[in-house]
Amino acid sequence: MAAFATTGPVLRGIVTALPESVSENRDLGAQFGDEAITKIIAATGIERRPVSEAHTVSQLGEVAARRLLDGLGWAADSVGLMIVVTQTPDYPLPSTACVLQNRLGVGPGALCLDIALGCSGYVYGLSVVSSLMQSAGIARALLVAGDMTTRMIDEDNRALKPLFGDAVSVTALEGAEAQIAFDLGSDGSGAPYLISRTGGLVESGPPRLFMDGTQVMAFSLKQVAPSIARALDAAGETIEAMEHVVLHQANALMLKTLGHKIKARDDQMVYAVRDYGNTSSASIPLALCDRFLTGQKRLSNATPLRLLLCGFGVGWSWSSAVWTTPAPDLIDIVRVR
């Protein structure tokens, strides 16, 4: 585990791209039975999910990035670093970051790489971006995070099909004037409980997701609260001072349980599972977009945002950040046909 505080980048904007197609969980009653689906919706809080049968991470990422660059008035070649966090890359090789670099026209001198992480990946990516921007003197960066998880789930998988959605989020980061603290960790003994055994070199075939929900819950209850406590301690902050507490959006039950465990007020907690489901590494930035766009919380440039972010899951891995940053100039959610 590593907990540390540093000077980090300023949040300039977030745009999340979603497939236009939406799957209503109520409609799954015809396949799995109305009673079973009603119970799943009640337990998870997930009513519908964006689902794609054709998009790739780079395709959705390009739409989000172009909206972000245009809205901020950034030239593509002003971006010196781009990291893509995904477990559903366009190709085994090259990296999706290189594919997206070419699509966007980001300059050939930029640092572009992939990070293969899921639910903890956004905060891990933020830590890597922060470190590289400081050490390499990079002024502007894009953090791309998202997965096409629904294409890893069998059509007849009642346990997983109602839970996951597809999304790709792009975050614009600039300078090094914000205060940020991280806690990062992993435990590979959890690998068998949230895994696709196929799709790699060990076992051929299309990727297929397996999840042991009981083990995932036990891991989350064990690791999330201590990770958040370490990040708050590194930042010299308290949970009461956090304006927005954004945990990985796994399901409503887990969010409420963890919120109670970390003693966060309900007005601090961000809930965005109802219309999106679990969108893996995109869930934290998508939840922020939803928070600010739906009127739950209005952005104000008068005071900095005080954000507590925490991702956790596949690996096992976990990542928390306490981030004080000026409010972003652009927040948006776009639908892609």
pLDDT digits (tens, 9 = 90+) for 227-263: 999 999 999 999 999 999 999 999 999 999 999 999 9
**pLDDT tier at 93, thresholds 50, 70, 90:** very high
Instruction: Decide: 57 and 336 in contact? Cβ < 8 Å.
Output: no
Taking residues 74-82, what's their average pLDDT?
A: 98
The question of whether 278 is a catalytic residue gets the answer yes
Q: Range with the lowest mean pLDDT among 71-85, 134-148, 302-316, 321-335?
A: 302-316
pLDDT at 296 > cutoff 80: no
Among 98, 112, 119, 310, which one carries the catalytic annotation?
A: 119
Q: Please choose, from the candidates 85, 116, 119, the residue with its C-alpha nearest in 3D space to the C-alpha of residue 100.
A: 85
The domains of the chain are located at: 2-336
- Joined together, the tokens standing for residue 106 give 């980001």
At 227 the pLDDT is 98
Q: Which residues contact 15 (CB under 8 A, 6 or more apart)?
A: 64, 65, 67, 68, 71, 169, 170, 289, 330, 331, 332, 333, 334
| Element containing residue 144 per DSSP (H, E) | strand 140-147
* Rounded Cα distance, 79 and 138, in Å: 8
CA–CA distances in Å: residue 224 to residues 32, 35, 80, 174, 229: 32, 32, 33, 28, 9
**Residue keyed to tokens 């992939």:** 114
Among 55, 98, 112, 278, which one carries the catalytic annotation?
A: 278
Q: Please choose, from the candidates 244, 247, 243, the residue with its C-alpha nearest in 3D space to the C-alpha of residue 227.
A: 247
Report pLDDT digits (tens) over 25-45: 999 999 999 999 999 999 999
At 303 the pLDDT is 78
The question of whether 248 is a catalytic residue gets the answer yes
- Cα-Cα-Cα-Cα dihedral of 96, 97, 99, 105, to 10°? 160
Rounded to two decimals, the pTM is: 0.97
At 176 the pLDDT is 80
Among 112, 248, 289, 310, which one carries the catalytic annotation?
A: 248
At 311 the pLDDT is 98
**pLDDT tier at 4, thresholds 50, 70, 90:** very high
The question of whether 25 is a catalytic residue gets the answer no
pLDDT at 183 > cutoff 80: yes
CATH of domain 2-336: 3.40.47.10
At 302 the pLDDT is 57
- Joined together, the tokens standing for residue 326 give 């000026």
Instruction: Decide: 211 and 274 in contact? Cβ < 8 Å.
Output: no
Instruction: Decide: 322 and 180 in contact? Cβ < 8 Å.
Output: yes
Residue % of the chain over a pLDDT of 70: 98
Instruction: Decide: 203 and 27 in contact? Cβ < 8 Å.
Output: no
* Rounded Cα distance, 212 and 197, in Å: 14
